[in-house]
Chains A and B, each alone.
Chain A
Amino acid sequence: MTSTYSVVAVAIVITATMLIGANGLRLSRTTSDFYVASRTVSPWWNASAIGGEYLSAASFLGVAGLIFAYGADMLWFAVGYTAGYLVLLTLVAAPLRRSGAYTLPDFAEERLASVPVRRIASLLTVGIGWLYLLPQLQGAGLTLYTVTGLSPLVGAVAVAVVVVVNVMAGGMRSITIVQAFQFWLKLAAITIPMVFLLLAWQHDGAPTPIGPTPPAFTERTTVRVNSAVTVRVHEPVRVTVTGVVDGDRLRESPVRLSTGTHRIDQGTSVTFPAGAVVPQVTSIPATTGEQWALPLSGTSGDHSLYVVYSLIVATFLGVMGLPHVIVRFYTNPNGWAARRTTVVLLVLLGVFYVQLPLYGMFGRLYTPELLMTGRTDATILLLPARVIGGLGGDLLSALVAGGAFAAFLSTASGLTVAVAGVISRNTLRRFGITGFRIAAVGAMTVPLAMTLVSSRLSVADVVGLAFAVAASSLCPLVVLGIWWRGLTSVGAAAGMTVGGGLALTAGLLTLMGAAQPGWWMDLLRWPAAWTVPIGFAVMVGVSLATPGSTPPGVARLMARLHAPESLGLRSTAAREEAAQ
């Protein structure tokens, strides 16, 4: 454990965040030069700021962990989290900005002129925000636990308190410069260690994890199990155990683990000889290096092809439903700038996400024991110290831990502000700023409470659930709302309710462990491939059946959404209106 440096790094990040939150006002520009003051945010700054809020540590720790555990199929996570913005760019970015909407509920109300639809969209936005906050808090707990050994609850509570205090103290102004800085900090925290890892890997003779055998311990290794696991052993191995294995309490005793599954209790230490094949938790399918590197080789279940398509649908279409991302697009002065921002963002995210598969590969080479404890999410945090070692390794680990913590704080702040904005706009509007503060507490309390009761859920699973719900409910609303004038308020309400409801139910059933392995489990665990088409179909079908509830003035609204600003249609139309 590389505690000291990492704790210092995390402490610095928390302190800096609090200071910036308290003094944020002074960072917004004070000047008597109007020219400087009235310049809108440029696409580069804006893209960096969106990246700052979007790149949650939960996603980058989780993606590297998934690729590490399940192999090539999971590359689609890294691709999807980036490519979602391509869909956003082509279908949504500019028209949504031209609609003038600040949040998706705003868009729903603007497009469909219906308060009930607005309320449903608000509920979904808040729900998705909560689901997305949950893994942030869990990830923070995991990070703090990995670098210091403190209980995971401490990290979750720390992030929750810092964010809420910050937002309440006025840090709710999501200052573009600060968020943009966060992005570059995260990129540095991922890229700098990667450079050193690549050099060290070259120095080792560039070993490859792709071989006919599962990963093995390269040297004598002691693994401490911090929460009880059931592992599958591939070939008999003699180990030294202190703790409880298969119900036998042992102390420094040699044990022969036979082929098959074994239960190892909390707090047990197991020492493996060099060259022993790593036992893997039963939830990770045992795979050789070749299977791991080959797409659709069954590492992600029996129906890999279905899983991959479902993953693509969820991540490509889910991005546009994330509340904290959408509100940042409002900062663009017009539709053109919104598109430009998205293009820049694609580049920035591409640079970031292309590194995660490498971390997954290094994880397989250098931290294989995580396959046994099941905490594959921690691999990025452990790699620098493991591979490089010494002071350099410690400092790099501290950089990663600090960057990860900055990521939790910025994403959690962005989400809390967005969720609190929706809650206060709908229920506490008359209380003004006080209402917003009350809502901020509420926005954080619910996911924190969920974290306390659900520490065993995989970070990536919950992120995936949030994306699936967003893709099945808000994505049809936005896409059809922008591209189909036949959408009616009744259709939108029905589609959002059915699509979002099905995805949420499927996700919760999976998290409850209700399904046995097989087709059902894959359908429930990766629901997007069927819930998204159902969401679209219900929305289209019900809209066709209720042509009477088409909102008035659709044609004019559509013209406003789709006409480029350079045509000057908006001001012409306004002049005509004024002349009448």
Chain B
Amino acid sequence: MSTVVAFLVGVLVGLVGLGIVVLSRRAGTARVRRHLGTEAEQVTYETLHKAWSAAPPLRAGLSSDTARKAARHLRGLLRAPALAITDGEQRLAWDGSGEQHADAAVALAATAFRTGKVSVLGPDRIACADPSCTLRYAVAAPIAVEDEVRAVLTVYSAEESAGLARAATEVARWVSGQLELAELDRSKARLIEAEVRALRAQISPHFIYNSLTAIASFVRTDPARARNLLLEFADFTRYSFRRHGDFTTLAEELNSIDQYLNLERARFGERLTVTLQISPEVLPVAVPFLCLQPLVENAVQHGMEDRANGCHITILAQDGGSEALLSVEDDGAGMDPEQCRRMLSGKGDGGGMALGNIDERLRQVYGHEYGLVVETALGAGTKVKLRVPKHRVGVHAT
């Protein structure tokens, strides 16, 4: 009996322990609030916490969904009985008592929306038949992004107060700031997208010229090979220029690398050797489009740079539990780690742009712990490593 009780306790303790660990990050914020300070400090913490809670939905941009989520926290911040967020045409969110006023919110906010100035509204505009309803006054404060009014924050109250107008204005400004940040996030994403498009179009004229010359040299001596190389060239360019989808499977990416290397081998012959170590388990993993192929191009360029005796490239793809571990290595000239750091931070040019772009995209999709890792030194070759999780919400090969 006692052993069985011990067993039960073991199971429960294990599960509870794991639960605590898993949930601890959420609880972390709650714990901070319990460290008591003076009353004024507590009020400050409380305010900051509410602002912090309202920030994430707003950082996703303004829609009725995000406005609804943020409105709850904003109302707490203002201690107002009711609050509305409207844009020019419709009500995005209503939070608090007095639902019957919700429909009039857009009309109330019209002046503020048009002029971009705070308007204070009295009982003449906030008429109500319900005797239990306390809403009499309202402050409508515009929310502007880059000097353009996008929405209006209307705060209701029972009595007129200068403090409320001031607070509403400040909160509206704070919301504007968050929305501007959201705009910034979007432009950053657009920038990366543009870079990927540039990468796709970045098949260098030299590569095209060299490949075609190499193919031409086989046309008479080995027509079959020339034909195959031409087909490879066609497939390679089609993959690199494809317009749809941000993700592909590792198998497809490796396939494109194969075509690229075949073309390069036609040109360099025996001087370019390649070793592959591919675990078949990771081939179906979805990876960002062109996350590996530019690295191989870089490796060939580096390895072949002023070296008469050729170069060796090693490509690894291993299964690492819930992640795929990838690396591309060349035994070429290597580079100064400092220069490499500049490239990763996006300050390089040409090949450096590819490195920085891949690093940026990996971090954006998977989080900062998934950036590129480069091991290099002058004369010691270069090894670029990356990790790709096998699953991430929203990441699908197309």
Contacts and interface: CB of A to CB of B under 8 A. Distances in A.
Interface in A98-116: 100-103, 106, 109-110, 113
Interface in A52-107: 100-103, 106
Contacts of B18: 123, 126, 423
A203 interface: no
Interface stretch (A29-37, A288-296, A378-386): A29-37
Given A32-B273, A110-B393, A513 B1 contact: yes
Nearest to A417: B321
Interface in A408-460: 417, 420-421, 423-427, 429-430, 432-433, 436, 446, 449-450, 453-457
A38 B320 contact: no
Interface stretch (B131-139, B167-175, B277-285): B277-285
Contact of A560 (B10, B255, B273, B396): B396
B322 A103 contact: yes
Contact of A37 (B7, B276, B322, B395): B276
Nearest to A573: B398
Interface in A307-366: 330-334
A454 B6 CA distance: 8
Contacts of A573: 398
By DSSP majority rule, is chain B's interface helix, strand, loop, or mixed? mixed
B4 A511 contact: yes
B187 to A, nearest CB: 19
A31 B276 contact: yes
Contacts of B397: 100
Interface stretch (A157-165, A171-179, A257-265, A484-492): A171-179
A173 B281 contact: yes
Contact of B3 (A123, A454, A560): A454
A457 B244 contact: no
A446 B23 CA distance: 19
Interface of B: 1, 3-8, 10-11, 14-15, 18-19, 21-23, 243-245, 249, 251, 254-255, 257-258, 261, 273-281, 283-284, 286, 318-322, 367, 369, 387, 389-391, 393, 395-398
Contacts of B283: 38-41, 333
A284 interface: no
A420 B321 contact: yes
A39 B255 CA distance: 10
A516 interface: no
B274 A100 contact: no
B343 to A, nearest CB: 23
A65 B318 CA distance: 40
A206 interface: no
A123 B280 contact: no
A100 B278 contact: no
B284 A332 contact: yes
B172 to A, nearest CB: 28
A25 interface: yes
B276 A32 contact: yes
Contacts of A430: 369
B390 A102 contact: yes
Given A417-B321, A574-B245, A513 B4 contact: yes
19 contacts: A28-B280, A37-B280, A38-B283, A39-B283, A100-B396, A102-B389, A102-B391, A110-B393, A174-B319, A175-B281, A175-B319, A333-B283, A430-B369, A432-B369, A453-B10, A511-B7, A513-B4, A574-B244, A574-B398
Given A25-B318, A570-B398, A512 B5 contact: yes
B217 to A, nearest CB: 23
A37 B278 contact: yes
B272 to A, nearest CB: 11
Nearest to B21: A427
A455 B390 contact: no
Nearest to A332: B284
Contacts of B281: 41, 173-176, 331
Chain A interface size, as a band, is: 35 or more
B371 to A, nearest CB: 12
Nearest to B275: A32
Nearest to A574: B398
A113 B284 contact: no
Contact of B4 (A106, A176, A446, A454): A454
Nearest to B395: A100
Nearest to B262: A34
A571 interface: yes
B284 A333 contact: yes
A439 to B, nearest CB: 9
Nearest to B368: A430
A425 B257 CA distance: 30
Contacts of B10: 446, 449-450, 453-454
Contacts of B320: 172-173, 433, 436
A109 B11 contact: no
Contact of A38 (B255, B321, B390): B255
Given A28-B318, A174-B319, A446 B14 contact: yes
A127 interface: yes
Contacts of B286: 100
Given A29-B278, A131-B11, 9 more contacts: A28-B279, A34-B254, A41-B281, A103-B391, A453-B6, A455-B3, A513-B4, A575-B244, A577-B244
Interface string A486-512: 000000000000000000100010011
Contact of A28 (B7, B254, B278, B284): B278
Nearest to B318: A173
B22 A122 contact: yes
A330 B284 contact: yes
A122 B18 CA distance: 10
Contacts of A578: 243-245
Contacts of B319: 28, 173-175
Nearest to B322: A421
A432 B369 CA distance: 8
B178 to A, nearest CB: 21
Contacts of B398: 570-571, 573-574
A430 B279 CA distance: 24
A511 B322 CA distance: 34
A172 B321 contact: yes
A536 interface: no
A41 B6 contact: no
B3 A427 contact: no
Contacts of B21: 427
A122 B319 CA distance: 21
Contacts of A423: 18
A217 B318 CA distance: 56
A573 B281 CA distance: 27
Contacts of A449: 10
A303 interface: no
A556 to B, nearest CB: 11
Contacts of B3: 453-456
Nearest to B9: A453
B7 A454 contact: yes
A467 interface: no
Nearest to B25: A427
A119 interface: yes
A342 B379 CA distance: 51
Contacts of B390: 102, 330
A187 to B, nearest CB: 22
A419 to B, nearest CB: 10
Given A172-B320, A455-B3, A30 B275 contact: yes
> Which of B1, B15, B279, B322 has the most C-beta atoms of chain A within 10 angstroms of its own C-beta?
B322
> Which of B274, B280, B391 has the most C-beta atoms of chain A within 10 angstroms of its own C-beta?
B280
A5 to B, nearest CB: 33
Nearest to A32: B274
Given A130-B14, A423-B18, A427-B22, A333 B251 contact: yes
B279 A123 contact: no
Contacts of A174: 281, 319
A123 B245 CA distance: 34
B278 A119 contact: no
Given A102-B391, A113-B393, A449-B10, A429 B369 contact: yes
